[in-house]
Chains A and B, each alone.
Chain A
Amino acid sequence: QPVLTQPTSLSASPGASARFTCTLRSGINVGSFRIYWYQQKPGSLPRYLLKYNSDSNKQQGSGVPSRFSGSKDASTNAGLLLISGLQSEDEADYYCAIWYSSTWVFGGGTKLTVL
C-alpha cells in the first residue's frame, strides 16, 4: 500500500469548491506530519501552494490566493486541500507530499477538471 494515496481525478464546476484528499497509509498518523500541496499545469513546473500541519502551523505559498486552504481529517487519516470559488485556470494536477522516514514521499496526484 502506498504511503500517500490520492484519487486519480476530480471534477467540479466553476464557482464551486473542490476538496482533494491525501490519505496516509494505515499506521502513519496524519497528525504527525506537515502536508505539502503542489499544483502542476501541463508543460509547467510544479507550483508550491501551501503546507499545513495545524491551524496554528501552516504556510501559504508566495502569491497563492486565500481560496486555497489546507486542513486535516483525523477520522480518515487524510490531509485535505480545499479550493473555493473554482476558476478554469485551476484545472491542473495536484500533488501532496510529506517528509517520511528521511525521504520525501509524493502522492500519485489528482487531476482536476473544471467543467
Chain B
Amino acid sequence: AQKVTQAQTEISVVEKEDVTLDCVYETRDTTYYLFWYKQPPSGELVFLIRRNSFDEQNEISGRYSWNFQKSTSSFNFTITASQVVDSAVYFCALSEFGIQGAQKLVFGQGTRLTINP
C-alpha cells in the first residue's frame, strides 16, 4: 500500500532562517506523482508543486526548492530565508491511480511550520 511519512510534526524557526521539510514515501508503482500542498489557518489546501517519478531534477521557485531522490524515496521541501507568511501546515502527498483514470491522494500527516518574527 502507498504510504507517505512526514516525520517532523512541528518545526519552529526564526524569520530568515532556512528550513527543510522532509517527506519519505512508499509505493510499488513505477509511475507515480508526488505533491506538496500548503494549508494556512483558513483551511484550504494550496497546491505548491507536482513531480513525476521520471523527473528527478530539482526545482526552484523563488524561495522554495524541492529535492526529489528516487534512490531514497524522498521528496524534501526547502524554504530559503523564511518569512512569517510561510507559517502553515505543509503536506506531502503521493498519487494512487485506479481504473479509468481514477486517482486519489495519499497524504502524510503534515508538518506544522511556525516562523517567528
The finding on whether chains A and B are genuine partners in a shared complex, rather than unrelated, reads no
